[in-house]
Amino acid sequence: DAKTTQPPSMDCAEGRAANLPCNHSTISGNEYVYWYRQIHSQGPQYIIHGLKNNETNEMASLIITEDRKSSTLILPHATLRDTAVYYCIVRVANTGTASKLTFGTGTRLQVTL
Partner 1 sequence: ETGVTQTPRHLVMGMTNKKSLKCEQHLGHNAMYWYKQSAKKPLELMFVYNFKEQTENNSVPSRFSPECPNSSHLFLHLHTLQPEDSALYLCASSQVGGGTIQYFGAGTRLSVL
Residues engaged in binding partner 1 (CB under 8 A): 32, 34, 41-46, 49, 89, 91-106
Q: Minimum CB separation from partner 1 for residue 12, in Å?
A: 22
Side-by-side strand order, sheet with 70-75: 18-23, 70-75, 61-64, 55-56
**Closer residue to partner 1, CB minimum distance, 29 or 96:** 96
Exposed, middle or buried: residue 55 (CB in 10 Å: 0-12, 13-18, 19+)?
middle
Q: How many CB atoms lie within 10 A of CB 89?
A: 22
Q: Minimum CB separation from partner 1 for residue 105, in Å?
A: 6
**Closer residue to partner 1, CB minimum distance, 17 or 93:** 93
**Closer residue to partner 1, CB minimum distance, 49 or 52:** 49
Q: Minimum CB separation from partner 1 for residue 98, in Å?
A: 3
**Closer residue to partner 1, CB minimum distance, 50 or 83:** 50
Q: Minimum CB separation from partner 1 for residue 99, in Å?
A: 3
Q: How many CB atoms lie within 10 A of CB 6?
A: 21
DSSP 6-35: --SEEEEETTSPEEEEEE-TT--TTEEEEE
